[in-house]
Chain A
Amino acid sequence: MEQAALVLASLFVDALQFIPDHAALLLHKAAQTAELAFTALGIAILIAMPIGLWLGHRHRGLLLALGASSVGRALPSIALIGIFIAWLGVGFWNNTLALVILGIPPILTNAYFAVEGIDRDVVEAARGMGLSERQILTGVELPLGLPLLLAGVRIAAVFVIATATLAGIAGGGGLGEIMNVTVYNESGVLAAALCVAAMALATAFLLSLVQLAASRRMAPRA
Chain B
Amino acid sequence: MSGLRLADGGGPVIPDFGHGTACLRQNHWFCTSWVHEHWGDTLQPALLQHLYLTLLAVGIGFGISFVLAVLAFRFRFLGPPLGAVSDVLYCIPSIALFLLLVPVTGLTVTTLVIPLVAYTLFVLYPNILAGLRGVPPEVLESARGMGFTRRQTFWRVELPLALPAIMAGLRVATVATISIATVAAVVLYYGLGGPIFEAIGQPDIFRTELVAAGGLAILLALTADALLTLLQRALTPWSRQP
Contacts and interface: CB of A to CB of B under 8 A. Distances in A.
Given A76-B214, A79-B210, A204 B95 contact: no
Interface in A11-53: 11-12
Interface string A49-85: 0000000000000000000001001111111101101
Interface residues of B, number: 40
B196 A82 contact: yes
A86 B182 contact: no
Contacts of B103: 7-8, 11-12, 186, 190
B213 interface: yes
Contacts, number: 124
A82 B210 contact: yes
Contact of A76 (B92, B99, B104, B217): B217
How big is chain A's contact interface, by range? 35 or more
A8 B100 CA distance: 11
B240 to A, nearest CB: 17
A209 interface: no
B182 A79 contact: yes
A39 to B, nearest CB: 17
Contact of B95 (A73, A154, A162): A162
Contact of A204 (B91, B218, B222): B91
Given A73-B221, A158-B91, 20 more contacts: A8-B103, A74-B225, A76-B179, A76-B182, A77-B183, A79-B182, A79-B214, A79-B218, A82-B200, A83-B210, A158-B92, A159-B93, A161-B93, A162-B96, A162-B183, A165-B95, A179-B95, A192-B99, A193-B99, A201-B88
